[in-house]
């Protein structure tokens, strides 16, 4: 074993699922910079480069203290030449010229605004950008055809830009619970996504719905949606049926990143008398009459059979990089992990689990609690 300051960092695993990554960490200046370059690589449809920057940022998030000198990075995984150059410049000069140039570039800013519209991915944003569109407002007067999701995205753009608070997520949880209780006795809802990892804000609210009796959950979402719509609580929704059939999954169709649960991507209309109490309008700044009595909030509802619940919970808790590395880790162990199941390719059989702990054990990983999956 080596001695000296790099001895500890040398032991850091190269997969995010081998590390504990807390929400609060000590290297935000560096990770913000690297994540901006990752975002920009996404905007240039360079996924490989984007993932490399995200991995590097993730390693820095897992460090026990702030990086002060380049030598402290010795032996750490996932820090390529490009990343090291960026880090070095920030440590020496307080900022990276590449990051600042990117941040102020017209392409980055336009792509950030356009991909920030619900229903708009990088490909569409890039097409619009080439046609001279720079901002969602440019779409209102343009000839460009928008689909139903994008029309909602443009309409509620200013609302959806504002982060969702934990209090709002809890309030939506109460509403979803009431809807689910009304249409199926005994159904259970679980808050997943970033809020389950301990985040205090998010870009949306994610829920998993199940029922202890396998099969009872089938066809639940259309009823929940009707209940919500009857009460004027939805501004937009798109519901998909479950298309997962285990018998047909393997080896015919290897698990993909996209799961096939019954699901609903929606925009809730959240009435907010309590928000007005939290943040009273500043006198002269914004009159009470202009403050809408509601806020548009993105909500994802996913229904899972109880036999797949642990896999769905693990798959929907994130972070996205944590999930990506879990699947990569499984692959390297001769297994295949999805949000539905874990398949052992050598034994040619599914490995069952009723808890996340069991899935980590199947994978030969130390259990990482949700609050430490912020990779
Ligand atoms: N997810 C998924 N399939 C999708 C969308 C998301 O499996 N079509 C999973 C992702 O793996 C992600 C989790 O659901 O880890 C939550 O996704 P998302 O809401 O996009 O991210 P959060 O981590 O919740 O971040 P935020 O707080 O910004 O919502
Ligand atoms: Mn670059
Ligand atoms: Mn989320
Ligand atoms: Mn989501």
* 206 is a catalytic site residue: yes
Distance 48 CA to ligand 2 centre (A): 12
- What pLDDT shows up at residue 292? 74
280 pLDDT tier (thresholds 50, 70, 90):
low
Distance between CA atoms of residues 88 and 240, nearest Å: 47
Q: What's the pLDDT tens digit per position in 320-332?
A: 999 999 999 999 9
Q: Is the pLDDT of residue 309 over 80?
A: yes
- CA-proximal residue: ligand 1, atom 16 (nearest): 193
Catalytic site residue from 206, 213, 259, 325: 206
Q: Is the pLDDT of residue 249 over 50?
A: yes
Task: Average the pLDDT over 24-49 and give the result.
Answer: 98
| Least confident residue range of 34-43, 51-60, 237-246, 363-372 | 237-246
- What pLDDT shows up at residue 258? 73
Q: Is the pLDDT of residue 86 over 90?
A: yes
Q: Is the pLDDT of residue 253 over 80?
A: no
287 pLDDT tier (thresholds 50, 70, 90):
very low
- The HSE-up count of residue 348 (CA atoms within 13 Å, CB side) is 2
3-class secondary structure per residue, 110-143: HHHHHHCCCCCCHHHHHHHHHCCCCCHHHHHHCC
Q: What's the pLDDT tens digit per position in 6-36?
A: 545 458 999 999 999 999 999 999 999 999 9
- What pLDDT shows up at residue 165? 97
154 pLDDT tier (thresholds 50, 70, 90):
very high
166 pLDDT tier (thresholds 50, 70, 90):
very high
Q: Which domains, ranges and CATH numbers included, belong to the chain?
A: 6-102 (1.10.150.110), 110-155 (1.10.150.20), 164-313 (3.30.460.10), 315-372 (3.30.210.10)
- What pLDDT shows up at residue 22? 98
Distance between CA atoms of residues 162 and 133, nearest Å: 22
Listing DSSP states for 11-74 in one string gives T--SSGGGS-B-SS-S-HHHHHHHHHHHHHHHHTT-HHHHHHHHHHHHHHHTSSS---SGGGGT
Q: Is the pLDDT of residue 215 over 60?
A: yes
Task: Average the pLDDT over 44-49 and give the result.
Answer: 98
Task: Average the pLDDT over 346-374 and give the result.
Answer: 97
Distance between CA atoms of residues 132 and 139, nearest Å: 10
- CA-proximal residue: ligand 1, atom 27 (nearest): 202
Q: Are 176 and 191 in contact (CB under 8 A)?
A: no
Distance 318 CA to ligand 1 centre (A): 6
Mean pLDDT, the chain, integer: 92
**Which residues are within 5 Å of ligand 3 (an ion), measured at CB?**
193-194, 202, 204, 206
Distance of CA 250 to CAs 64, 112, 244, 349, Å? 41, 38, 11, 9
Q: Is the pLDDT of residue 247 over 80?
A: no
254 pLDDT tier (thresholds 50, 70, 90):
low
Nearest listed ligand to the Cα of residue 53: 2
- CA-proximal residue: ligand 1, atom 13 (nearest): 316
Distance 339 CA to ligand 3 centre (A): 15
């Amino acid at each position: 074993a080596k001695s000296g300051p790099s001895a500890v960092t040398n032991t850091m695993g190269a997969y995010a699922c081998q590390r504990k990554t807390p929400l609060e960490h000590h290297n935000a200046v560096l990770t913000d910079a690297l994540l901006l370059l990752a975002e920009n690589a996404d905007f240039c449809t360079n996924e490989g480069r984007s993932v490399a920057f995200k991995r590097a940022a993730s390693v820095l998030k897992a460090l026990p203290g702030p990086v002060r000198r380049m030598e402290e990075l010795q032996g750490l995984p996932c820090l390529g030449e490009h990343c090291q150059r960026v880090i070095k410049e920030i440590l020496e000069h307080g900022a990276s010229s590449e990051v600042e140039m990117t941040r102020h570039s017209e392409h980055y800013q336009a792509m950030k605004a356009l991909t920030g519209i619900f229903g708009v991915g990088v490909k569409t944003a890039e097409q619009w950008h080439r046609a001279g569109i720079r901002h969602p407002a440019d779409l209102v007067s343009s000839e460009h055809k928008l689909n139903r999701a994008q029309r909602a995205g443009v309409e509620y753009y200013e609302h959806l830009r504002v982060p969702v608070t934990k209090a709002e997520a809890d309030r939506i949880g109460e509403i979803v619970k009431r809807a689910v209780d009304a249409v199926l006795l005994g159904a259970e809802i679980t808050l997943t996504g970033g809020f389950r990892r301990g985040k205090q804000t998010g870009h949306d609210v994610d829920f998993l719905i199940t029922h202890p009796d396998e099969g009872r959950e089938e066809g639940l979402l259309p009823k929940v949606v009707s209940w919500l719509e009857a009460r004027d609580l939805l501004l937009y929704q798109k519901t998909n049926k479950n298309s997962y059939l285990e018998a047909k999954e393997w080896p015919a169709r290897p698990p993909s990143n996209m799961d096939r649960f019954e699901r609903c991507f929606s925009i809730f209309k959240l009435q907010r008398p309590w928000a007005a109490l939290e943040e009273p309008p500043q006198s002269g700044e914004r009159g009470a009459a202009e403050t809408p009595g509601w806020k548009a909030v993105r909500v994802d509802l996913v229904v899972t059979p109880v036999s797949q619940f642990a896999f769905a919970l693990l798959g929907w808790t994130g972070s996205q990089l944590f999930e990506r590395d879990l699947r990569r880790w499984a692959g390297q162990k001769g297994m295949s992990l999805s949000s539905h199941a874990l398949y052992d390719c050598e034994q040619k059989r599914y490995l069952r689990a009723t808890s996340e702990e069991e899935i980590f054990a199947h994978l030969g990983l130390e259990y990482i609690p949700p609050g430490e999956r912020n990779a």
